[in-house]
Structure 1
Amino acid sequence: MPQSGRFITLEGGEGAGKSTQAALLAQALNAAGVPVLRTREPGGAPGAEALRQLLLEGPVAWDPLAECLLHFAARAEHVAKTIRPALEAGTWVVCDRFFDSTLVYQGWGQGADRAVIAQLVDMLGLRPDLTLVLDVPVEVSMARLAGRGTAADRYERLGAPFFARIREGFLAVAAAEPGRCAVVNAADAMDAVAAQVTDAVRVRLGRP
């Protein structure tokens, strides 16, 4: 029976560089001989990808509780169909966002009941081994989004006050769970951020 894989999530606000750093971390793990699966949320399984379109691109202004439940419906599919099978096969999973994003975006950002979200987290039955919180000031987030040259999704359009609440929420999550979370200064250059990420994985999990 192969040893269970490790589960790493990358969290942070808009423009923090999560997707880039997830890809670089997956490359570093592969180079170290670690089998790795890179995935994302919302999404990562066929049903979850269908819900992603509703959440990010759809025309509905969701009630915060409804939005939470949709995220967790997508997450339950992702865990059952993608994440848990990979971990049980001994593969390390690197995921761009997980339940902390729902807690922060819908709880801190949109006022949904955080206690209800915590209950949904418990029902999920899976917690990351390590969560890397990529922290950037709001002005950096805004500048990076402006420089992308692509259409903004519905979260990216919510603006600076929302981004400030998001940053506060992620830092609060990291402070509340220091054993699971490591804060990374994501305002640095890409290579410097990648070095912080791999250092945190080495210290906390012994690889790469």
Structure 2
Amino acid sequence: MNKSEKEMNKMRDKVRKGYEEGQYAKEYREGRTIRDFEKELFEDLFEKIGEEGSILDLGCGIGIPFDRYFVDNGFEVTGVDFVEKNIKRAKENVPEANFLNTDFSQLDFTKKTFDAVVSFYAIFHIPREEHLDLLEKINLMLKESGNILITMGTGDNEKIESDFVDSKMLWSSFSIQKDKDLVKKAGFKILRSYEETEEEHHLWILAEKKD
């Protein structure tokens, strides 16, 4: 059964509060390096978008390690996160990038603005009923033949974890096949997918905007 807008707003508030009060940045971002499989995926993305391309990062957190890596490789980066303390730290960690404190599921950028849109470990924290709408919005933000590199969940469920680095946290995702179907339905051609299983289970998808 579809959720009401009020119910979905409550879910978003729970996620925001979890990131504001918890220790996610300390546990998962500070001191973290780019993993080998991530470097491979990033190289594929860089090759597609060319030198000095523009990248929008949805759910950028504190800007490291990903936005720092993109800037160091010569790309123009815009990061978005709805947790104010994350954006403050992102500006300190990656002063060369542009950061916005807003809910990325509510973004309305000008059409055909970016060469690539990325989102790591974030989409499955918004209600899954909104995933297709978000992907369609992302498609509109991309220039012709633009690309996405995103992580999505691997389980067809919604759950609330009571102690996720000292806070409550929500997960909302579909199955791997459903995720891929949504990406295609939103107007993308999947170029590569990778199921991350080393530490946690996530689905990475590299896809290109269809003409």
**Taking structure 1 as the reference length, what is the TM-score of the superposition?**
0.29
**Taking structure 2 as the reference length, what is the TM-score of the superposition?**
0.29
Greater share of residues in strand? 2
Greater share of residues in helix? 1
Tell which has more relative contact order, 1 or 2 (C-alpha 8 A, sep 6+). 1
